[in-house]
A and B are shown apart, each in its own frame.
Chain A
Amino acid sequence: MITRIARKEFVEMTRDGRFRWSAAIVFCLLIASLAIGWKHYREVKSDRDAAQSQAYEQWLNQGRRNPHSAAHYGMYAFKPMLPLALVDRGVEAYTGAAVFLEAHKQNEFRLRPAKDTAGVARFGELTAAMLLQLIVPLLVILLAFGAFAGEREVGTLRQLLSLGVSRRALGAGKALGVAGALGLLIVPAAVIGAAALALSTSGGSGGALMAGFGRAALVALAYLVYFTVALLVALAVSARLRSSRVALLALLAFWIASGMVAPRAASDLAKRLHPTPSTISFAREMEKEILQGEQGRNEKLKQRVLAEHGVSRAEDLPFNFEGLSLQDSEERGDEVIDRYYNALDRAFAAQTRVQELAALVSPYQAVRLLSMGLAGTDPAQQRDFARAGEAYRRMMVKKMNEAVRSNEGELDPNYFGTQTLSRKTGREMWQTIPPFTYDTPGAAWVLKNHRRSALLLLAWVAVATLAAWRAVTRLSVE
């Protein structure tokens, strides 16, 4: 019985011109967005890979100079991209792509790609994720709003039930019919998406391929759950409300609230509850505090070291005091930097929690966070990358300071100023710094990070199932 109802629904829908048109348009948009995403991914990836290896080459070939100058010359780190970013670009457009790693300070990420696009981009990017998160549920609503309410209006519902069709069978059949029609659109798009992913991952190791597909499967699962929520909510509303008109209006209102109003309202609320400082005041205060810590400390350190070695002049020490002093001030500075950046990270994390809570009224928000997390394009992975960059910076600066301390290299005949810059080294020293590498966190890390969103999405399925069940079993013909 269920299959018969499902087949009837399916045939009816696929013969409907409106469904054909809208499905064709959404399908074309999906394919176009995948193509755009693929092109974007290829460009950005080759761009960043090239820039990263070039940055290391520049480091190695900086010529003979003082290690401290080398630390000032510094290095750039570029955030790598996962193939899934072609489906969901997440916040990529709004995070910097590059961070400059140099002596004395932690730099901010720079070069947000969104700054290099026209203002029209603020309406949202055309990505597969946007279509799956916003447009497909709308299609589900259009397919399902009349499922029960429409039959009730024309009187066929009374007929059907009088034939002895069970309400549950009717509900299950309707759900399967709509799902089948939707599958006509989603399955081919998913196959093309998977092919694009496989193409993008090729060249990587077998392990990377498997991990990539594991993530892709999780993303697919998340969207499947999300579409199920949309379908069940639509059926529940259609079964509950008297006319198809009212059912449609209620569903559209829900769609707007979930996809437009709640996320934005949550963002602004999050910023109000957990404010972040302006760049200017953040930098100024941090600089001031680092500078305050400097004062007099160098002299105290010198007295202590001289006393320990029983000498009276820095020149008589068995090592270059400037190297020790540099590293000491670096580490004191790092304490201040850590304090400031940890506070900032905490504010961002608190903002994220508020935004996650928006999923209480918006399943869209839950799937959005999960999807960008699995695609490796969420703010948390940006922060993780920033931390890796900072750890690398400290390692690099420390090695250079140690080189100053142990007087590596030859004396520079033209040096002036302090003992810091008295010697020159070259490639043999630069080589001791390995190239910057970054391993993107695994899917388990991502899921743990987004457990609230995952749970809320599951809660949505549970609630929607319950609501649909209740509405269908109590289906009234009037």
Chain B
Amino acid sequence: MMDKTIALEQTTGNRITSRTLSLVMKHEWRLLSRDRTLWIVVALLAAMMAYGCWNGAAWIGFQRGTIAGALDEERARLSSMQRELDLIERGEAQPARFRDPGRPGWVGEFLGERYATLPPSPLAALSVGQRDLYPYCFRVSTQSADTFINEDEIENPFNLATGRFDAAFVIIYLFPLVILALGYNLLSGEKEDGALLLALSQPVRLSRIVTAKLLARALVVIALAVTLSIAGVTLNRANTGAGGTARLALWTLAVALYGLFWFAVAALVNARGRGSAANAVALAAVWLALVIIVPALLAVFVSWRHPVASRLAFINAARDERRETSARTQELLAEFFAARPELKPAEPDKNDFMSGFYAAQFDRDKRLAPLAASYEAQLQRQNDLAARLRFLSPALVMQSALNDLAGTGFDRYARFVAQVHAFHREWQEFFLPKLFKRVRLAPDDYNRFPKFQYEEEAEGSVRLRVLLGLAGLLAATLALALAAFRLLRRYPVVG
């Protein structure tokens, strides 16, 4: 009986409070909808998201076009070489100077070089990420990897230094500002015009009012950001498969959580009970610290902790090795054949300088490999450290989450480079034994050339990484909200 009464009272209590909640929210919504600032801010955000998506779409469209063009060129080149070789084999044509499609050395080194490409992911248009800095298309040949792996995309360095105006920029930098603009005077505004005092004379708790007001504003802004993201993907006609839809859901979750984080910051600052102008200053300072200063300091720390050695040292070391080995090619070739006797040709050709060149290259690459690998390893360490420390700022969590979801971050690029190295070895292993053994390519060999296909990371591990970051964001949001509500208990309604 006793228990029943309590339960009954609790339900009535809940009903009353949930009714006040929706009442205050409705009231807040009525106020907001008549507020010109809200509409201006919302319109600005929408316009900037649209511009960002348009830019991202153009950018990814360009990359898709580049990759398609490269693969078309490759297909046309290889099939015309195959046809030509067919004619030569049947004695109906003569190979042009330096362009014999039957010589494995020439085909593997430059005539038949193949592209290794990193296709854009379904959501790539939303976040350009590191895709404007790192190459997405390599020309793989039998020569040392450092002849092509350091290739850069043509890009105005000023654009790279400025950064892109994409949807991720709007979300990471500007979206919080919109939230702060709507939340800086959440309580202080009502306090200053006396409405708060009036409201609190009714049987309603301050925390209830704050929650309702925050929810009303959060719903507007977050719904907007989410709608715009989805619209961005749809408008880009991005080819979203099942993986794409799941990623879009995670993207939406990330945007919503990021928005909630900034609402919690606004609530906490409001709970301190200062005036609107003081709140605005405090919020601007928090934004500046979290979005600009912390990332800049982290970048300094990370590159100080794991410095990448000077690349110039590699250049000169490689040249020393090149001079050194090219003087000993015959000797190195003999050593090479001693190690791999099965590749020794029946009769050596005095005019064949390529075998010697590659014997020297193998020797050189073997000795330079530790130095070359140290750059990639050190860069990996930097990124790993930055990933661990991303929890220092919600902007960093968002950058890595959005880049991961868009497939434009470092992790995907590092995977790509590792696969390109493997493909490069496969390519060398296909052509160079034929070169050493002095075997000609047959037209049919063209169908067996190794082909590069980027193998995506398991969807689960991408999601795990993103969710881990978002969990951190959620924890920070909850902590802030808790602190705000504790402070609210001592909120000076008067004075």
**Chain A residues in contact with chain B, CB under 8 A?**
18, 22, 29, 36, 43, 47-48, 50-51, 54-55, 58, 61-63, 73, 76, 78, 90-91, 93-98, 108-112, 114-126, 130, 134-135, 138, 142, 145-146, 150, 243-245, 248-249, 252, 256, 260-261, 263-268, 270-272, 275-282, 284, 344, 348, 351-352, 355, 378-379, 382, 416-417
Interface residues of B in 40-79 (CB under 8 A from A): 48, 51, 55, 58, 62-63, 66, 69-70, 73
CB distance from B305 to the nearest CB of A (A): 10
Docked CA distance A279–B66 (Å): 9
Is the C-beta of B298 less than 8 angstroms from some C-beta in chain A?
yes
Most chain-A CB neighbours within 10 Å: which of B130, B164, B292?
A: B292
Is the C-beta of B202 less than 8 angstroms from some C-beta in chain A?
no
Docked CA distance A299–B385 (Å): 61
Tell whether A118 pairs with B382 under 8 Å between CB atoms, given A29-B293, A276-B155. Answer: yes
* Bitwise interface map of B from 117 to 155 toward A, beta carbon under 8 Å scored 1, else 0: 000000000000110011101010000000000111111
Tell whether A119 pairs with B152 under 8 Å between CB atoms, given A51-B316, A114-B160, A252-B284. Answer: no
B150 with A110: CB separation less than 8 A: yes
Is the C-beta of B229 less than 8 angstroms from some C-beta in chain A?
no
Is the C-beta of B87 less than 8 angstroms from some C-beta in chain A?
no
Closest A residue, CB atoms, query B288: A138
Of the candidates B73, B295, B351, the one whose C-beta lies within 8 Å of that of A124 is: B295
B177 with A256: CB separation less than 8 A: yes
B62 with A278: CB separation less than 8 A: yes
Tell whether A146 pairs with B277 under 8 Å between CB atoms, given A119-B403, A352-B158, A416-B351. Answer: yes
Is the C-beta of B464 less than 8 angstroms from some C-beta in chain A?
no
Chain A residues within 8 Å of B353, by CB: 416-417
Tell whether A54 pairs with B403 under 8 Å between CB atoms, given A146-B277, A249-B181. Answer: no
Interface residues of B in 278-299 (CB under 8 A from A): 280-281, 284-285, 288, 291-293, 295-299
A-B contact pairs, 24 of them (CB 8 A): A48-B312, A90-B161, A110-B150, A112-B160, A116-B379, A118-B303, A119-B410, A121-B299, A122-B130, A123-B291, A123-B292, A123-B299, A124-B163, A125-B296, A245-B275, A248-B277, A264-B164, A264-B165, A267-B158, A271-B156, A272-B58, A280-B69, A352-B158, A355-B158
List the 4 closest pairs (A to B, CB-CB), nearest first.
A123-B295, A91-B157, A94-B157, A94-B160
Docked CA distance A150–B278 (Å): 12
Docked CA distance A122–B296 (Å): 9
B323 with A73: CB separation less than 8 A: yes
CB distance from B480 to the nearest CB of A (A): 21
Of the candidates A120, A249, A272, the one whose C-beta lies within 8 Å of that of B280 is: A249
A112 with B399: CB separation less than 8 A: no
A123 with B277: CB separation less than 8 A: no
Docked CA distance A50–B62 (Å): 40
Docked CA distance A252–B279 (Å): 13
Known contacts A108-B152, A117-B303; 8 further A-B pairs (Cβ under 8 A): A55-B316, A63-B323, A114-B133, A115-B152, A245-B275, A264-B165, A265-B165, A266-B162
Chain B residues within 8 Å of A90, by CB: 161
A91 with B351: CB separation less than 8 A: no
Size bracket, chain B contacts: 35 or more
Docked CA distance A265–B300 (Å): 27
**Chain B residues in contact with chain A, CB under 8 A?**
48, 51, 55, 58, 62-63, 66, 69-70, 73, 115, 129-130, 133-135, 137, 139, 150-165, 169, 173-174, 177, 181, 185, 275-277, 280-281, 284-285, 288, 291-293, 295-300, 302-303, 308, 310-313, 315-316, 319-320, 322-323, 327, 350-351, 353, 375, 378-379, 382-383, 385-386, 390, 395-396, 399-400, 403, 409-410
Tell whether A111 pairs with B150 under 8 Å between CB atoms, given A121-B299, A265-B165, A284-B73. Answer: yes
Closest A residue, CB atoms, query B309: A116
A116 with B308: CB separation less than 8 A: yes
Most chain-A CB neighbours within 10 Å: which of B159, B311, B322, B395?
A: B159
A135 with B288: CB separation less than 8 A: yes
CB distance from A130 to the nearest CB of B (A): 7
CB distance from A148 to the nearest CB of B (A): 13
Of the candidates B58, B133, B298, B410, the one whose C-beta lies within 8 Å of that of A112 is: B133
Closest B residue, CB atoms, query A142: B281
Of the candidates B137, B308, B312, the one whose C-beta lies within 8 Å of that of A78 is: B312
Closest B residue, CB atoms, query A380: B158
Chain A residues within 8 Å of B150, by CB: 110-111
Chain B residues within 8 Å of A271, by CB: 156, 159
CB distance from A244 to the nearest CB of B (A): 5
Tell whether A263 pairs with B66 under 8 Å between CB atoms, given A117-B382, A125-B296. Answer: no
A276 with B161: CB separation less than 8 A: no
CB distance from A45 to the nearest CB of B (A): 12
Of the candidates B70, B73, B299, the one whose C-beta lies within 8 Å of that of A117 is: B299
Chain A residues within 8 Å of B295, by CB: 120, 123-124
Docked CA distance A98–B185 (Å): 53
Tell whether A379 pairs with B158 under 8 Å between CB atoms, given A29-B293, A116-B375, A260-B174. Answer: yes
Docked CA distance A282–B129 (Å): 23
Closest A residue, CB atoms, query B294: A123
Of the candidates A91, A114, A244, A265, the one whose C-beta lies within 8 Å of that of B158 is: A91
Docked CA distance A278–B403 (Å): 22
Chain A residues within 8 Å of B73, by CB: 284
B157 with A264: CB separation less than 8 A: no
B399 with A268: CB separation less than 8 A: no
CB distance from B168 to the nearest CB of A (A): 10
A267 with B164: CB separation less than 8 A: yes
Chain A residues within 8 Å of B163, by CB: 122, 124, 264, 267
Of the candidates B137, B152, B296, B322, the one whose C-beta lies within 8 Å of that of A96 is: B152
Of the candidates B285, B299, B311, B313, the one whose C-beta lies within 8 Å of that of A126 is: B299
CB distance from B20 to the nearest CB of A (A): 29
A280 with B70: CB separation less than 8 A: yes
Closest B residue, CB atoms, query A417: B351
